[in-house]
Structure formats: C-alpha cells, structure tokens
Amino acid sequence: MLVLSRKLNQEIRIGENIVVRVIGIKGNQVRLGIVAPDEVPVLREELLTKVPAPAHPSNSESRAMKCARC
C-alpha cells in the first residue's frame, strides 16, 4: 500500500484520468473530491456490497459532487 500525505487543496493523480483532491479537513474527517471517467465507479467501501455502481452518471463533475456528500 502506498501512503501519501496531502494538505488542504492538494491533489493526488492516479494514472492520467483520475484526480483526488483534499477539499476539506474538520477534526478527524477529511473531505475528498474525486474526478474520474464515467466508466470508473467511485463508492465508499461500506456501499460496495449494498449499492450497485451507477451505469452512466450525467458527467464526472456532478458525480464527484454526489460522492463528496456520501
């Protein structure tokens, strides 16, 4: 496992198409914004067995905002 430290508003890039940005830090919670291609499902771990990945979200930006609220 690769472990990285990031500060507020810093990003991690995965490959050419995935960006993970720290968008908020409050106490022991970190809010992440994720931009990824539509074909890449992005879910919290606890939802993997409960909710199937959406087939075709409207666009990557709106999916990132929805996931930020998860």
All structural domains of the chain with their residue ranges: 11-68
Query: Lowest-confidence range among 25-29, 30-34, 41-45?
Result: 41-45
What's the chain's average pLDDT? 83
Answer whether residue 2 shows pLDDT above 80: yes
pLDDT the model gives residue 3: 97
- For the question of whether the overall pTM of this predicted structure is more than 0.75, the answer is no
- 18 contacts 12 by C-beta, under 8 angstroms: no
DSSP code for 54 = P
Torsion of CA 53, 57, 62, 41, to 10 degrees: 30
Answer whether residue 57 shows pLDDT above 90: no
Looking at per-residue pLDDT, the higher value among 70 and 28 belongs to 28
